[in-house]
Amino acid sequence: MSPQPISTLKGFGVTFKQIFKKPITQQYPEYKRPVYPRFRGRHRLWRHENGLEKCVGCSLCAAASPSDCIRVIADENTPDNRVSAGERYARIYEINMSRCIFCGYCELACPFDAITLGHEYEISEYNRDDQIYTKDMLLAPPVKHVPVADPDLYDTPIPYYETHS
Amino acid sequence: MTEPWWIALIEALLVVNLLLGLFAYLTLIERKLLGRMQLRYGPNRAGKFGLLQPIADLVKLIRKEAFAPSSAVDLLYILAPIVSAFTAIAAFSVIPFGPGWTVNGWHINGEVANVSIGLILVFALGSIGIYGFIVGGWASESKFSMLGSMRTCAQLVSYEVSLALSVLGVVILGRSLNLPEIVHRQGELLPFVAPQFIGMLVFVMGGIAETSRAPFDLPEAEQELVAGYHTEYSGMRWGLFQMAEYINLITLSGLMVTLFLAGWHGPWDLGPLWFLLKLLGVLFVFIWLRATLPRLRYDQLMRFSWKVLLPVATINAVITALVVVWA
């Protein structure tokens, strides 16, 4: 190692050279880094091909949630008001996004693949009350598009329900 | 011939405004340059290239709630940042940025105030500025502030001794304490950086410690003392302390340009422009130092001041005096 003043001056050279290199910052709103295929973002409720909801209101997701953020009130499917594919449907289904920790246990607990965690992560609101997402909001497809990384680059398997309906 | 009082007034207003503008954009230049040295962009969201960032900071500071600790000594608490900021701006008034011009029979000075002992005035005002830091820390009635201000002021006072001794060589060579006179002599002879290189190094190190810049910025190190003497200040009062620090930095750089780098001299007779370019060069070196060097520990700092810097400055002054008398 060179004596102390020389090595300090070499340090100055390093800092000086860095001025002329291109910064490695990714500017966020213009460039959004692609998320992984199994990224746990905003929840989505799914429907069958024929339009019936998959969710039968069994509340297994509410029981599985560690932070107790899902509220499910179930109701009977009547012949003239058939909402889901089973006997009951979820009349009220709300998730409190400010309590949710996005762990994905509700997705693992659901026996019907009705709720999954999608890729959307830009879900900021100005009020706490707006953070309680109702069933309509969860059923709807995401408004903002988030780039997703190419699944072929990763050898993690994609869950069955994400490729079949 | 002397300058009429109304020209002096206009010049003072102009220089103070330009100084404050330079301070505002120096904060931006520093953040962007530090960012580039660390392979990132500096602020670039507020306006193109971040050019409105200082204005955004100003609006934020003004609109912030200016709380005060309930047990703070009211008058001193409010006066402390004012004293620091005032002395910092006042110290810049003696630095010559031009040769002096004569327009239409009226004379315009090349500096705001031509004081025959200008160099001593700068150091005196710097010492009064230290009062602002001490009193601010004490008047906050908080242990962090008190300890922080004690450490700050011990550091500032120690390095001030070496700083004053390091310019003794320049004073001997320049035969005067009057700053425009020193610049003139550098124009005739040569920039004093050549004969006084060691003096300049001591001046740089003492100066960086005087203005609490890295690597001597222990007073500001958040991990050590929360924020030292300005812990209990918020909003524009904190802004005034920052202003005092940055304008001290600009004054110090101006002093370095004046004493060692031949002030406003340069080819093609463009006085103030050369001064500004040299000033920006010196500021670039200070920002470069901040980006590169880690912080000194407090005991390393004090040991360096008394055991290294002071003897070197003294020996430099003695050798300069001997050479000048016997040559």
Band of residue A119 on the pLDDT scale cut at 50, 70, 90: confident
Q: Which of B223, B217, B227, B295 is nearest to B249 (CA)?
A: B217
Average pLDDT of chain B?
87
What pLDDT does A34 receive?
Answer: 87
CA–CA dist B277, B268 (Å, integer): 14
Chain B residues with CB inside 8 Å of A14's CB? Answer: 292
| pLDDT at position A109 over 70 | yes
Rounded to an integer, the average pLDDT of A62-77 is 91
pLDDT band of residue B210 (cuts 50, 70, 90) is confident
The verdict on a CB contact (< 8 Å) between B291 and A11 is: no
What confidence category does residue B306 fall into, taking pLDDT thresholds of 50, 70 and 90? Answer: very high
The pLDDT of residue B136 is: 85
B228 vs B62, more confident: B62
pLDDT value at residue A159: 66
Name every chain B residue with its beta carbon within 8 A of the beta carbon of A21.
Answer: 39
Token pair listed for B169: 């060589």
Range in A144-158, B135-149, B229-243, B250-264 the model is least confident about: A144-158
Euclidean distance between CA atoms B172 and B200, whole angstroms: 14
Q: Which of A64-73, B9-18, B230-239, B242-251 has the lowest mean pLDDT?
A: B230-239
The values of phi and psi at residue A33, to 5°, are: -70, 130
Confidence of residue B98 (pLDDT cuts 50, 70, 90): confident
pLDDT digits (tens, 9 = 90+) for A7-17: 888 888 988 99
Inter-residue contact B128 to B220 (CB < 8 Å): no
Looking at the predicted structure, is the pLDDT value of residue A3 above 80? no
Contact criterion met (CB < 8 Å) for A15 and B37: yes
Measured in residues, chain B has a length of: 327
Task: Determine the average pLDDT of the residues in B135-156.
Answer: 84
Query: Searching chain B, which residue's CA lies closest to the CA of residue A22?
Result: B39
Average pLDDT value for residue range B93-119: 85
Tokens matching residue B46: 């507020």
pLDDT band of residue B1 (cuts 50, 70, 90) is low
Question: In Å, how far is A160's CA from the nearest CA of chain B?
Answer: 41
Which secondary structure element, helix H or strand E, spans residue B290, and what is its range? helix B271-292
* Nearest residue in chain A measured CA to CA from B41: A23
Residue numbers in B near A24 (CB within 8 A): 39-40
CB B123 within 8 A of CB B165: no
Mean pLDDT, residues A28-51 taken together: 86
The pTM for the full model equals: 0.85
Give mean pLDDT, residues A38-53: 87
CA–CA gap between residue A128 and residue A96 (Å, rounded): 9
Work out the percent of chain A whose per-residue pLDDT is above 90: 21
CB A108 within 8 A of CB A75: no
Confidence of residue A1 (pLDDT cuts 50, 70, 90): low
What integer best gives the mean pLDDT of chain A?
85
Q: Would you call B37 and A19 a contact, using CB atoms and an 8 Å cutoff?
A: yes
Output the DSSP codes for A19-80. Answer: TTSPP----TTTS-PPBPTT---SEEE-B-TTS-BS-----HHHHH-TT--EEEEEEE-BTT
What single DSSP character describes residue A157? P
Q: Do A15 and B39 touch (CB under 8 A)?
A: no
Query: Do A19 and B36 lie within an 8 Å CB cutoff?
Result: yes
Select from A7, A15, A16 the residue whose CB has the most chain B CBs within 10 Å, as the one to mutate to test that interface: A15
The answer to whether residue B218 scores a pLDDT higher than 80 is no
pLDDT score recorded for residue B216: 84
How close A25 gets to chain B, by Cα (Å)?
A: 5
Given a cut of 60, is residue B223 above it in pLDDT?
no
Residue bearing tokens 């200040």: B233
Question: Which chain B residues are Cβ-neighbours of A5 within 8 angstroms?
Answer: none
Return the pLDDT at B28. 94
A164 DSSP 8-state letter: -
pLDDT at A61: 92
Question: Closest approach of chain B CAs to the CA of A13, in angstroms?
Answer: 9
pLDDT at B195: 87
A22: closest CA of chain B, how far (Å): 7
CB B317 within 8 A of CB B168: yes
- Mean pLDDT for the stretch of residues B279-308: 90
For the stretch B171-197, pLDDT in tens is 998 888 889 889 888 888 888 888 889
Q: What is the number of H-type helices and E-type strands within chain A?
A: 5, 5
ipTM of the complex: 0.75
| Helix, strand, or coil (residue B70) | coil
Mean pLDDT over B89-117 rounds to: 85
Name the pLDDT band for B19 (thresholds 50, 70, 90): very high
* pLDDT confidence band for A162 (50 / 70 / 90): low
Which positions in chain A touch B41 (Cβ < 8 Å)? Answer: 23, 25, 27
B198 contacts in A (CB within 8 Å)?
none
Residue of A nearest to B34 (CA): A19
Residue with tokens 């709103």: A29
Q: Is the pLDDT of residue B238 over 60?
A: yes
Q: A150 or A87: which carries more pLDDT confidence?
A: A87
Q: How confident is the model at residue B221 (pLDDT cuts 50, 70, 90)?
A: low
Beta strand spans in B166-212 (E) = none
Q: How far apart are the first and last CA of chain B?
A: 35
pLDDT digits over B35-60, tens only?
A: 999 999 889 888 888 899 999 999 99
Judged against a pLDDT cut of 90, whether residue B140 lies above it is answered with no
State residue B224's pLDDT score.
59
Mutate to test the interface with B, among A7, A14, A16, A19 (most CBs of B within 10 A): A19
Residues of B with CB below 8 A from A27's CB? Answer: 41
d(CA B156, CA B248): 12
Q: What is the pLDDT of residue B29?
A: 93
